[in-house]
Amino acid sequence: MEYRKLGNTALELSTITYGAFAIGGTMWAGNDQKDSIEAIHASLDHGVTTLDTAPFYGFGLSEELIGQALKGKDRTKVQLLTKFGLVWDGSNQGKGEHFFDLPVDGKNVAIYKLASKANIIKEVEESLKRLDTDYIDLIQQHWPDASTPIDETMEAMESLIQQGKVRAAAVSNYSLDQLKEAGNTFVPAANQVAYSMLNRSIEKDLVPYTVENNIGIIVYSPMERGLLSGKYFQNEKLKADDHRNGYFGQFDLEKVKTFLESIRPIAEEKNASLAQLALRWTTLQKGITIVLAGARNAEQAISNAQAMSLDLSAEELSFIDGELRKL
């Protein structure tokens, strides 16, 4: 495993980071809690020291599972990354910026973006309890919230650092303009954004800015939620309540399939999977600090960690880029 410094912080994070969205179950057609904990343990055993979660993932379940998985582990050897700013419980309904309605157990649950100072303090205390820890290594605003001034959010995060409840603070899904505005009050350690072989929009303006200003980029959805693994072109079926049934619709699936077949020989030559190739490619792109990779079981977790062992030559990277330009 390789470890990288995050922006202007003292944090050293594993380049492949365990992404804990799916183990929350919500939007992912449920989960197996035993398998989830085994996936976290397998990640730790194979050099992954960084775990990224959020209260929204399973409405607290993802954080709770991480807290359980870390019992008896050396807390100083693990970096916990979590978030705030997506609220769903009755006390917050109607506050903040309405985001979307999520079907849960036959009824719609309204989800709001809320990044006020009071809510940040509340959510951090709840996360500390669920994670069973007394500090968070990196707190992140999950989504921009138009109902709260950015400077209020930044001041609150800076205060949490001063209190010792978090070691560093970052944002997620911020545009370049929002990131610049945040920097007028407090420079975030990183921006967590979507990025993959199929989604490279951040390369135009966000990457140059973050590189110039020593701000990290944390990547989510590097495998486009499993699409780049190729297995969904091989009779892999999704459950009816899996959000990916709709998510995959944004892509020209025939072109994606052709692309994956074109790069498959590179993976096979290295005795690797397409998923591992996609992960390793992502870690090698300019400005990318760490890459989140989800795993529902130990086998997937080990495979993700081992992606870092792939050695991609300049010629192979050039070939992949050439195939991507055909999409």
Q: How many domains, in total, are found in the chain?
A: 1
For position 243, what pLDDT does the model report? 75
For position 102, what pLDDT does the model report? 87
> Is position 57 annotated as part of the catalytic site?
yes
For position 25, what pLDDT does the model report? 63
| CA separation for the pair 80, 52 (Å, rounded) | 6
Domain span holding position 123 = 3-324
CB atoms within 10 A of CB 250: 11
The CATH code of the domain that includes 108 is 3.20.20.100
Predicted confidence (pLDDT) per residue in 267-283, tens digit:
999 999 999 999 999 99
Name the active-site residue from 3, 18, 57, 247: 57
- pLDDT averaged over the chain? 93
Q: What are the 10-residue block averages of pLDDT along the chain, 327 residues in total?
A: 97 97 71 89 98 94 96 97 90 79 85 95 97 98 97 98 98 98 98 97 98 98 89 71 76 90 97 97 98 94 97 97 93
For position 191, what pLDDT does the model report? 98
Predicted confidence (pLDDT) per residue in 209-266, tens digit:
999 999 999 999 999 988 998 888 766 676 776 777 778 878 888 898 999 999 999 9
For position 56, what pLDDT does the model report? 93
CB atoms within 10 A of CB 98: 13
CB atoms within 10 A of CB 89: 11
Backbone φ and ψ for 78, nearest 5 degrees, come out as: -125, 140
For position 252, what pLDDT does the model report? 86
For position 28, what pLDDT does the model report? 60
